[in-house]
Amino acid sequence: MSQQGYVAAPPYSQSQPGIGGFSAGFGPPNSSLHYGHYGDPNSSYSAPQPGVSKSTVPFGSSAPAGPPPPGTHQFSQTNFQNGPSTPGQQPHRFQGPPPPSSTGPSYPPYSHQSQPAYPNTASTSPTAQLANQLNSMQINSYGPGTTPSSRMSSGHPASFQGPQLPPPTQQQIALPPGSQVPPPANNVNGLCAQPSLPPVARQDGIPGPVPPDPNLQQLSGQPPGPGYHPQPANYGPQMAGSQLSYPGAFPGGLAQLPGPQQKKLDPDSIPSPIQVIENDKASRGGQIYATNTRGQVPPLVTTDCVIQDQGHASPRYIRCTTYCFPSSSDMAKQARIPLAAVIQPFAIVPPNETPLYVVNHGETGPIRCNRCKAYMCPFMQFIEGGRRYQCGFCNCINDVPPFFFQHLDHIGRRVDHYERPELSLGSYEYVATLDYCRNNKPPKPPAYIFMIDVSYRNINSGLVKLICDELKTLLDKLPREEQEESSAIRVGFVTYNKVLHFFNVKSSLAQPQMMVVSDVGEVFVPLLDGFLVNFQESRSVVINLLDQIPEMFADTNESETIFAPVIQAGMEALKAAECAGKLFIFHSSLPTAEAPGKLRNRDDKKLLNTDKEKTLFQPQVNSYEALARDCVANGCCVNLFLFPNQYADVASMGLVTMYTGGTLYKYNNFQLDADSPQFLSDLRKDVEKKTGFDAIMRVRTSTGFRATDFFGAIYMNNTTDVEMAAVDCDKAVTVEFKHDDKLNEDSGALIQCAVLYTSISGQRRLRIHNIGLNCSSQLADVYKTCETDALTNFFAKSAFKAILSQPLKTVREILVNQTAHMLACYRKNCASPSAVSQLILPDAMKVLPVYVNCLLKSCVLVGRPEIPTDERAYHRQLVMSMGVADTQLFFYPRLLPIHSLDLKGDTVPGALRCSEERLSEGGAFLLANGLSMFLWLGVSTPPELIQGLFNVPSFAHISTEATSLPDLDNPFSKKLKSILEHIQSRKPYTMKLMIVKQREQPEMLFRQFLVEDKSIYGGASYVDFLCCVHKEICQLLS
């Protein structure tokens, strides 16, 4: 695109702040601190200027001087549509910041699942603009062949019902010029005033760029954009704690707006994520998807189908943000669509799909290109009668080893093409030779070490006994290879408080022996022989030990604990045994005992919405990073089960878990009867998971582009090797690519991911995944093959990585800015000409704004005193290693109407959009997001449904204390239980069920998951955010 681009913005084709600065391994990211730079390492992010793109969103402006509107600080529950409530019901956690406390706030009720939203703003300008112009918005879906004139005149909103085949190429939403600005209809929650926009641009529609607002603040310390002088502005005094975000204001009184009443925009007229999911299920569900074509777009993650590997890796293993890369870096900079792949190398394959074949070339090992070291795969081209092959990645010509030689057929393909997985399949495994092993010695099978915190609280709560009782049966279920009778994994046991206790459970002993290590400053392993044992051989001694542990510490009064020395001890034990493995640590409080890794309570609400907020997500002491590095070097993965009653510094304690590819589980205010099922289910799933140990991953690409940035539960020592002490079926690594040359449209863009790992039986293997993408010099091709769910995964991880080094406000602005940029570029280069007031969305990205808005409202990106810091750090850590299916559900939960169950058939009721408008007083609804699950019951739920599910006569009798449904022998109960099991079976975390009755206090928590609505923390509704993005687009285009 030419330099002229958009007039009112910095030249469009210049290096823009895309998402994803590059930082290798630990430590501060390198010079490109600002999460941005597309291709050009020197261009760090410069803030948009007042009057450039900064004025396009009411973001980041300092709050107007003067007092906030009356009633803004008080959170009034009477605004809920579900009817008034008594003041006595007002939840204490929304009445203002919690009282300061030196011990760290204990969690407010229900906080452990809070997924709230946005810092809201004091905004005294009561007028809303764009949101209300959407009132008479119309959407026309049209196929590629429609002429602009017929499209413009069709005034019927396209109904989104039923599958539309072929899908329309773009979505058009008309915002008619000249519409008057109505007040917001008493909007859904009535919690936020409408977005306030500069009054100047209010007269009609969106005539062009909105005039700059002098109150928009420029980020300090950053150079202005090219060619623009910073405008002088009189900033009023910043209001305490207020921070302007995108649409949304203080929860509180409704804005009183003058003007005629108009009906509120019908949410059914804007793109629906549910409809997109249902359309894909209707057109592709239940079918066979064969991966035989380069650059084809797979079915959505939400669609069930059977995948047949025919030369490209299954989308279960690799999904891309777009399946057609732009051919040049200039095009990539212009569109600013992230080029990324989300790789889940050990993803579970359903029983009806073929498991991976294992190729064994014996002593010779895998065949690789001499120059780039890529492994033999379907992208290699055999020439000269089969005696040589040309590498598809670097074009180097290699000799075929004599043992591998085979003749070619009439089309130049090897005669044994279909007999060799490495020639005909996208994914397969190689048995590795000794060259691929540590110290050139074959690895030993991995070990699992269980390390239990036996401090006063854990003994007293019954947790220690619960863990010991569970391990007695769980150790029979350790993972094993299909052909083996028993697991090769050895087990060991440690307990600790201020000191460490190691146990000798050698099979020849009559009684287990305990050895105490009290020098926690210099941890050593007191015994080698008898610490790690085969459970089957030492069964009686181990069972004896598990019976004794709760009694041994029954009279303890030790409340202080250590933590880093526990990890150190586990790692040293694995190192001494010369094997990789996992530590299962069960811990409950901040480690305050004198020892390395000692932590203090540093939870400081005053840091919220300041430049220092990022420190809350960084480890408190450096020793945890060094410890993580040692663990990775020794193949020691750390799984942490946390049971905190107050602040535990997840950002520090979870760091080793994150860097070693482990999993963090957190149970706030653990209650034995209520929380045991969730914890035990998590523990069982984790112990039984298929896992690769001591893994290293390398991503190779064909010429013209390369992998530049990696996001996940990983550690990087250099810029290419992704190291994981372990990698399980749920962990995904998101990889960003950048151009270093032009791409060839004929040969496409090829990616090979190779993971070298030790299997559960102790065999060293290579797992290879290959995928080929198309390339095009037409932007339309790039937009057509985008995948919104993968884009969401990329944006979430890159934003969550960026908050370690940048203010949250900057990160949020970049997200909105990049979303608008991608859509503006489509509008300018790919869409048919139409009125400025039309919001035109590419078909493949039409629901991207919903997902970006959900991400902006996630508790990680929202600094609010009501949200515990640990909760934010926990969510951040979980998302960093999620695959595409998990981020999809996490950011846009599934809402099912349970009252319309089909008791005869086996169908699940169709999902609904996550908005309060979809709930009804006479219904029951199930909501799940992968971490939390709610059953919401309307006040007029039919008595027979209540009787069937709860075995009580009426709504009033239902207890909200229960965390599971009773086992009842009736069709309602059985059907709902099977749906719960089905949703749960696909997710890595066990979701605790919470029963919520309409108009009762816990409903507050449930509402945060209705992500299309305004959030109680001031985050915008979907409609408002769409307006905000549209305004940004108009600004860029003007």
Q: Could you tell me which residue, 254 or 479, shows the higher pLDDT?
A: 479
Which pLDDT score is estimated for 18?
43
- Residue 151 DSSP symbol: H
Peptide bond into 298 cis (omega under 30): no
> Which residue carries 């086992």 as its tokens?
967
Amino acid making up residue 491: V
* Residue 415 pLDDT > 90: yes
Q: Indicate if the pLDDT at residue 5 is higher than 90.
A: no
Q: Is 691 in contact with 726 (CB distance < 8 Å)?
A: yes
**Tokens at 313, concatenated:** 């890796």
- Residue among 180, 184, 199 nearest 255 (CA): 184
Residues 6+ apart with CB under 8 A from 343: 317, 318, 697, 699, 732, 733, 734, 735, 753, 769
Q: What is the largest CA-CA distance in the chain?
A: 89
Instruction: Determine phi and psi for 687, rounding to 5 degrees.
Output: -65, -35
CB-based burial of residue 548 (10 Å sphere; 0-12 exposed, 13-18 middle, 19+ buried)? middle
pLDDT exceeds 90 at position 355:
yes
Q: Are 705 and 713 in contact (CB under 8 A)?
A: no
Q: Label residue 516 by pLDDT band (50, 70, 90).
A: very high
Helix %, strand %, coil % for the chain, to 5? 30, 15, 55
pLDDT, position 240:
35
Exposure on the CB side of residue 106, measured as CA atoms within 13 A: 7
What local confidence, expressed as pLDDT, does residue 175 receive?
Answer: 53
Output the 3-class SS for 284-315. Answer: HCCCEEECCCCCCCCCCCCCCCEEECCCCCCC
Contact between 474 and 450 (Cβ < 8 Å): no
For residue range 719-756, what is the model confidence (pLDDT) as tens digits? 999 999 999 999 999 999 999 999 999 999 999 999 99
- Residue 683 in 3-state DSSP? helix
Alpha-carbon span 375 to 770, nearest angstrom: 10
- The DSSP 8-state label assigned to residue 635 in this structure reads T
Query: pLDDT tens across 1006-1017, in order?
Result: 999 999 999 988
- Phi, psi (5° rounding) for residue 683? -65, -45
What is the C-alpha to C-alpha distance for residues 552 and 566, in angstroms, rounded to an integer? Answer: 19
Beta bridge partners of 640: 585, 664
DSSP string of 328-377, one letter each residue? SHHHHHHH----EEEE-TT----TTSPPPPEE--GGG---B-TTT-PBP-
Answer for the pair 634, 574: CB distance below 8 angstroms, yes or no: yes
More confident site: 79 or 902: 902
- 145-154 pLDDT, tens digit per residue, is 333 333 333 3
Q: How many CB atoms lie within 10 A of CB 437?
A: 15
Asked whether the predicted pLDDT for residue 37 surpasses 80, the reply is no
% of the chain beyond a pLDDT of 70: 75
Please give the DSSP secondary-structure letter assigned to residue 909: P
| pLDDT tier at 840, thresholds 50, 70, 90 | very high
What is the structure's pLDDT at 169?
A: 60
pLDDT of residue 58: 36
Say what the pLDDT of residue 678 is.
96
Asked if 339 contacts 785 with a C-beta cutoff of 8 angstroms, the reply is: no
178 — alpha (psi -120 to 50), left (phi > 0) or beta?
left
Distance (Å, whole) CA 606 – CA 98: 12
* Segment 242-257 mean pLDDT: 35
Q: Return left, alpha or beta for 446; rule: phi > 0 is left, psi -120 to 50 is alpha, else beta.
A: beta
Query: Is 771 a residue whose pLDDT tops 50?
Result: yes
Average pLDDT, the chain: 80
> pLDDT for 124-147, tens place per residue?
333 333 434 444 343 433 333 333
Binned at pLDDT 50, 70 and 90, residue 265 comes out as low
Q: In angstroms, what CA-CA distances link 4 with 256, 332, 822, 830?
A: 42, 17, 17, 17
If you average pLDDT over residues 543-550, what whole number do you get? 97
Per-residue model confidence (pLDDT) at position 260: 40
Mean pLDDT lowest among 173-177, 219-223, 836-840: 219-223
| 200 vs 133: CA distance, rounded Å | 15
What is the reported pLDDT for 173?
67
pLDDT for the residue 266: 74
386 HSE (CA, 13 A, CB side): 16
Q: For the segment 46-78, what is each residue's pLDDT rounded down to a tens digit? A: 333 333 333 333 333 333 444 444 433 433 333
Q: Looking at the predicted structure, is the pLDDT value of residue 41 above 60?
A: no
SS3 call for 662:
coil
Confidence of residue 904 (pLDDT cuts 50, 70, 90): confident
Q: What is the pLDDT of residue 67?
A: 43
User: Residue 512: pLDDT above 70?
Assistant: yes
